[in-house]
Amino acid sequence: MKRSITIFILALLLILPATAGAAAQGKYEFHWMESGSLGGSALVKNGVTFVPLTRMTAYFKLDLSWDATGKRAQFNGWNKSLAVRVGSLTGMLDGKMVKLPGAPFLFEKELYIPARFAVQALGGGRLTWDAPTKTLKAEQLQTFRKYDFVHEGLKYTVEGKSGNLYVTDGKGVRRELAKLGTSIKEYLSSNFERTPGGLLIISFADHYGEPHLNNQYFTIVVKEGKVIHQASVHYWNRVEVNVTKLGSQLLLIDGKTLRIIEDGTGKLLETIDLVKLGGEADEYFVEYFDKDVFLLRGNKDGILKLVDRGTSAVTVLYKELLDARHQEYVAYNDTPYRGDFLKFMKREGDLLYFKNEFPYDKDNNIYSVNVAD
């Protein structure tokens, strides 16, 4: 490693001579393990190649903070911390003091640090000099994304790479609470809710891709500090709101099944096979749920169906409610996504009321279905 570093520095200096106190320009190209790369201009100063670390924080998932003087920069991520001070040859890496080959400096509001230290700090492997392109290259750099949330005096942390959920108490003791089962792709939002029966419901949502058509949801049920139920589901493009409660019962949906859980005890009361009722392999939404009926919609086909809980009879609602023109659109459309645009409004007695949010032709009608028929 040291020999490679020496070679690229000498090569770069031969091409880009620099005088003390002045900086010459080069290029860098960093690749990280998950996927993707980042490149741009590097600066050579006093024989040391520097790269702009602050612009890398979004890529390597580090949180940046400055002290009151605006000279000391602190970077924090999952099990990763580093700090440097402008003009100082001493830095901190994961709680230990390290010597730097060159003093960090600010240039055009960007913090530059020695490339060797940056690659070391970010867990990179090979550091090489590519003579034909005059580019400094580093491979296998890592990301350190984490998501912190505080609820009821406890800190909950999701480690982005593994998707593992940890909880830290007031004494700083951290333990793993659950495995979400997949990495977090982008921004993670959260919701914490304490039920009347004392259970804690933790919900996470990860919306990712461009233009954010992928939607991953996680639900965790905690009793007395231990996970007793959890579920996750991935929806693409179409997003509807699942119901989560029926009186004192909790509804847990993983797209394939619906579990009914008793509040307080956490006892599993019933499991409903959504795929069997929906009629095809899909991830399903449950948009309304009651003791006698519920509303089911497939993510891919987008058709809202009424399910009789007693008989398991399934009614395709758009065929019962809409006129021929709107039925034709539902049957053949795929813009903005397949399916109908029926939305449940309310229930009064045995009547369920719907509106048709058809996007291309205003429909002011209110539709109803009698579930007692």
54, 64 in Cβ contact below 8 A? Answer: yes
Q: Which long-range contacts (C-beta less than 8 Å, at least 24 apart) are formed by 342-348?
A: 342/304, 342/317, 342/318, 342/367, 344/287, 344/288, 344/295, 347/288, 347/290
Residues 6+ positions from 7 with CB-CB distance below 8 Å = 129
- Give the span between the Cα atoms of 174 and 155, in whole angstroms: 9
Banded pLDDT at 22 (limits 50, 70, 90): low
3-state secondary structure 140-168: EECCCCEEEEEECCEEEEEECCCCEEEEE
**CATH number belonging to domain 2-141:** 3.30.457.10
If one compares 321 and 9, the residue with the highest pLDDT of the two is 321
Q: Does 95 have pLDDT greater than 90? A: yes
Beta carbons of 185 and 206 less than 8 angstroms apart: yes
Average pLDDT (218-243) is 97
Distance in angstroms (rounded) separating the CA atoms of residues 186 and 137: 26
CA 265/CA 47 separation, integer angstroms: 67
Residue 356: is its pLDDT beyond 80?
Answer: yes
pTM for the full predicted model: 0.82
Q: What is the mean pLDDT of the chain?
A: 91
Residue 13: which H helix or E strand, with range?
helix 2-15
Closest CA to 102 of 117, 81, 92: 117
Domain boundaries, the chain: 2-141, 185-370
Instruction: Give mean pLDDT, residues 39-58.
Output: 88
Residues 356, 354: Cα–Cα separation, whole Å? 7
pLDDT for the residue numbered 81? 94
State which amino acid sits at residue 234.
Answer: H
pLDDT band at 23 (very low <50, low <70, confident <90, very high): low
pLDDT digits (tens, 9 = 90+) for 115-168: 999 999 988 877 888 888 889 999 888 888 899 999 999 999 999 999 999 999
